[in-house]
Amino acid sequence: MMLRQIQHFQTIVQENSFTEAAELCHISQSGISRSIKALEDEIGAELIIRKNRSFELTEAGEHFYKKSLIITSDLEQLCHETARISRKDTAELHLGVLSTYSGDEFNRAVGAFSEKYPAVELKVITGNHEDLYNGLVSDRIDLSFHDQRRVFHDDYENVVLTETVCYVELATHSPLARLDSISVRELKNTPCILVASDRQKEEERRFYHDIIGFQGDFLFADSLHEARMMVVTGRGVMPVEGAGGDSFFGATIKRIPLLRGDKQITRKYCAFWKKDNSGYYAEEFAEILKSMF
């Protein structure tokens, strides 16, 4: 049984068309029909019933299609792993992303990059701004996607990708959850929950007090999970960026726009990487990430 015949069969099912599948597989329509016939003969079962210009899968065809997807996925993974073992010098790309950013652009970029460069091993580090900045400085991170807080440095590539809007996460049982939006001034009596290590607490407090405008108390968590548990139990609100939503975490947490005055607060998000430590893959990932916005 040839792998190419299985791929032809999968493409026909996915495109629901012999004609379109033939074009995608760069084969004639008669050629792809012969390929399916040869596959059926080798299996000893009819997979497809053709009806004029349409077709339907037999019960055997449905079974074979589902199982074949698993087999081809395993085979691709096997090939990638074997190639890495053979090279013994696997290319790696260390990426950083802000833990409180909730947009899906970064995840989609990771997926697109992995599909284009399957031999490159991606390692993703999440953290707050200072975690990622220090990772870049110490070369533990090749490229980071996070908010701009400092003046752009000449030693780094600084590519502005988007200007995102800010929200606060709060418990759905809080009276504040009934509001359509809330300003930092209106939160002066509500604690602000931040994720930071002991050595980062003062830096984070200063930024959210002086730049964002929170005037109340600050509570700190060691992880995003811990911070959200504090939100759920009503201990305060947590500022985040990215997508909003009436019920971001089911029935427990709600996001509402965070305002300064009557305008929603915005933040610039950028891709950062060292000019003298970039390499081809960092620049390529930056281009893919840029295309997601």
Domain segments of the chain: what residues?
3-87, 92-161+268-291, 164-266
pLDDT averaged over every residue in the chain: 89
* pLDDT (0 to 100) of residue 130: 86
pLDDT digits (tens, 9 = 90+) for 131-173: 899 999 998 999 999 989 888 888 899 999 999 899 999 999 9
β-strand partners of 281: none
* pLDDT (0 to 100) of residue 49: 93
pLDDT digits (tens, 9 = 90+) for 26-59: 999 899 999 999 999 999 999 999 887 789 999 9
CA–CA separation, 141 vs 277, rounded Å? 10
E-assigned strands of the chain?
48-51, 54-57, 92-98, 121-127, 143-147, 156-171, 182-183, 192-195, 218-221, 238-241, 253-260, 263-264, 266-274
C-alpha separations of 31 from 28, 61, 73, 108, 225 in Å: 5, 19, 25, 35, 54
Residue in 226, 279, 241 with CA at minimum distance from that of residue 149: 241
DSSP 79-117: HHHHHHHHHSS--EEEEEEETTB--SHHHHHHHHHHHH-
Q: Is the predicted pLDDT of residue 250 greater than 70, yes or no?
A: no
pLDDT digits (tens, 9 = 90+) for 178-216: 999 999 999 999 999 999 988 889 989 999 999 999 999
C-alpha 148: how far from its chain's center? 19
Q: Name the fold adopted by 3-87.
A: Arc Repressor Mutant, subunit A (1.10.10)
* pLDDT (0 to 100) of residue 243: 61
Q: Do the domains 3-87 and 92-161+268-291 sit in the same CATH topology, yes or no?
A: no
What one-character DSSP code corresponds to residue 151? P
* pLDDT (0 to 100) of residue 180: 94
Residue found by looking up tokens 């031999």 in the block: 119
To the question of pTM greater than 0.85 for the whole model, the response is no
* pLDDT (0 to 100) of residue 109: 96
Q: From the CB of residue 71, how many other CB atoms can be counted at a distance below 10 Å? A: 12
**Predicted confidence band of residue 277 (pLDDT cuts 50, 70, 90):** low
CATH of domain 164-266: 3.40.190.10
* pLDDT (0 to 100) of residue 8: 93
Q: Name the fold adopted by 92-161+268-291.
A: D-Maltodextrin-Binding Protein; domain 2 (3.40.190)
CA–CA separation, 74 vs 193, rounded Å? 43
pLDDT digits (tens, 9 = 90+) for 66-116: 999 999 988 887 887 777 666 655 688 999 998 878 788 999 999 999 999
* pLDDT (0 to 100) of residue 51: 85
